[in-house]
Structure 1
Amino acid sequence: MSVEDEDARLETAEDQAADWIVRQDGEALDEADQAAFAAWLAVPEHRREFDRQNAVWQRYRRMASLPVRIEQSEHRRGRRRWRAAFTPIRRRVSIPAIAASLALIAVGYAEDWPTRLRADYSTGIGERRIVTLADGSVVRMDAGTALSFDRSDTQRTVRLLAGAAQFQVAPDRRHPFLVETREGSVTALGTVFSVREREDGPEVAVLQHSVAIRTSAGANAIVHEGESTSFTAQRVERPAHTDVQAATAWTRGKLIVFHRPLSEVVATIARERRGYWTVRGDAANLRVNGVYNLDRPLDALDALEKSLGLRSMRISDRLIVLSR
Structure 2
Amino acid sequence: MDRRQASAGAAVPERPALVPKDVAAEAAVWITRLHGGHRTPQMEQECRAWQARSAAHRLAFERCTDTWQDVASLTLADYASATAARELPGSRRAARSLPWRSSLAIALALVASVMALRPWSAGDAYDTGVGEQRVVVLQDGTRLSMNTSTRIRVDFAESQRTVKVERGEAMFEVAKDASRPFVVRAAGTEVVATGTAFMLQTSPTAKPGDQALAVTLVEGQVVVRSAAGEGRLLETPLVMVPGQRLRLSRSDEAQRPATATRVDRPLMDQVLAWRRGEARFDNVSLLEAVDEMNRYDRVPIVVSGTAGERRVSGVVKTGDNASFAEAMASLHGLVVRNHGDRLELVQP
TM-score (norm 1): 0.54
Residue 132 of structure 2 corresponds to: 127
Q: Where do 1:1-324 residues align within 5 Å?
A: 120-188=125-193, 190-198=195-203, 201-215=212-226, 216-219=232-235, 220-233=237-250, 234=258, 237-258=261-282, 260=284, 262-280=286-304, 288-294=312-318, 296-316=320-340, 318-323=341-346
Give the letter for the 2:298 counterpart: R
Q: CA deviation at 1:305?
A: 3.8
Q: CA deviation at 1:250?
A: 0.4
Residue by residue, what CA displacement relative to the aligned partner does 1:217-237 show, whole Å, maximum 9, x if unpaired? 233322211222312231574
* Paired residues, number: 206
Q: CA deviation at 1:309?
A: 4.6
The structure whose Rg is larger is 2
Q: CA deviation at 1:183?
A: 4.3
Q: Distance in 1 between matches of 2:333 and 2:282?
A: 18
Q: Distance in 1 between matches of 2:185 and 2:305?
A: 32
User: Could you say if the C-alpha distance between residues 236 and 315 of structure 1 is closer, same or farther in structure 2, counting changes exceeding 3 Å?
Assistant: closer
Give the letter for the 1:158 counterpart: V
Q: Distance in 1 between matches of 2:157 and 2:247?
A: 28
Q: Distance in 1 between matches of 2:168 and 2:148?
A: 7
Residue by residue, what CA displacement relative to the aligned partner does 1:44-84 show, whole Å, maximum 9, x if unpaired? xxxxxxxxxxxxxxxxxxxxxxxxxxxxxxxxxxxxxxxxx
Alpha-carbon RMSD: 3.0
TM-score (norm 2): 0.51
Residue 50 of structure 2 corresponds to: none
Give the letter for the 1:277 counterpart: I
Q: CA deviation at 1:209?
A: 1.1
Q: CA deviation at 1:280?
A: 4.9
Q: Distance in 2 between matches of 1:119 and 1:320?
A: 37
Residue by residue, what CA displacement relative to the aligned partner does 1:144-179 show, whole Å, maximum 9, x if unpaired? 221111123442222222221111001122222122
Q: CA deviation at 1:194?
A: 0.7
Q: Distance in 1 between matches of 2:215 and 2:310?
A: 23
Give the letter for the 1:313 counterpart: R
Q: Distance in 2 between matches of 1:281 and 1:177?
A: 46
Q: CA deviation at 1:187?
A: 2.0
Identity %: 27
Residue 147 of structure 1 aligns to a residue whose secondary structure is strand
Q: Which protein, 1 or 2, shows the higher relative CO under an 8 Å CA cutoff with sep ≥ 6?
A: 1
Give the letter for the 2:213 counterpart: P
Q: CA deviation at 1:120?
A: 1.0
More moved, 157-166 vs 181-190: 181-190
Q: CA deviation at 1:193?
A: 0.9
Residues 206 and 244 of structure 1 are in contact (CA less than 8 Å); yes or no, is this contact kept in structure 2? no
Residues 131 and 138 of structure 1 are in contact (CA less than 8 Å); yes or no, is this contact kept in structure 2? yes
Q: CA deviation at 1:132?
A: 1.3
Q: Distance in 2 between matches of 1:168 and 1:322?
A: 39
Q: Distance in 2 between matches of 1:237 and 1:304?
A: 32
Q: Distance in 2 between matches of 1:122 and 1:279?
A: 29
Q: CA deviation at 1:133?
A: 1.9
Residues 119 and 146 of structure 1 are in contact (CA less than 8 Å); yes or no, is this contact kept in structure 2? no
Q: Distance in 2 between matches of 1:310 and 1:238?
A: 35
User: Could you say if the C-alpha distance between residues 238 and 138 of structure 1 is closer, same or farther in structure 2, counting changes exceeding 3 Å?
Assistant: same
Q: Distance in 2 between matches of 1:136 and 1:191?
A: 12
Residue 183 of structure 2 aligns to a residue whose secondary structure is strand
Q: CA deviation at 1:212?
A: 1.7
